[in-house]
Amino acid sequence: MRPELETMRRLEGYLRGTLGEEERVDVEVRLLWDREWQENLSAQQTAYRALREAGRLRLRQQLRAIHARLFG
């Protein structure tokens, strides 16, 4: 696997809490010392927030459409 993809996989596992103990500790150590890993983690967190917000907005639109159909 390309190093960038492996980094993303590990950071995603870290954020989701799915890493094993050894791998989680390794990621935490890297985050303490590696500025690039810190930036990648921040970017991934921002992307997750944006996706959650987009999902919420889409749900609101769907609920409004349902409401409009039911109560016109």
CA distance 15 to 9: 10
pLDDT over threshold 80, residue 47: yes
Q: At what angle do helices 21-33 and 35-71 cross, to 10 degrees?
A: 110
Number of domains comprising the chain: 1
Confidence of residue 58 (pLDDT cuts 50, 70, 90): very high
Q: Average pLDDT of the chain?
A: 94
pLDDT over threshold 90, residue 41: yes
Q: Using alpha carbons only, what angle is made at residue 8 by residues 51 and 18, rounded to the nearest 5 degrees? A: 85
What pLDDT sits at residue 72? Answer: 84
Residue 44: CB atoms within 10 A of its CB come to 16
pLDDT over threshold 80, residue 1: no
Amino acid type, 36:
E
Question: At a CB cut-off of 8 Å and minimum separation 6, what does 24 contact?
Answer: 14
Domain extent for 64: 3-71
What pLDDT sits at residue 3? Answer: 84
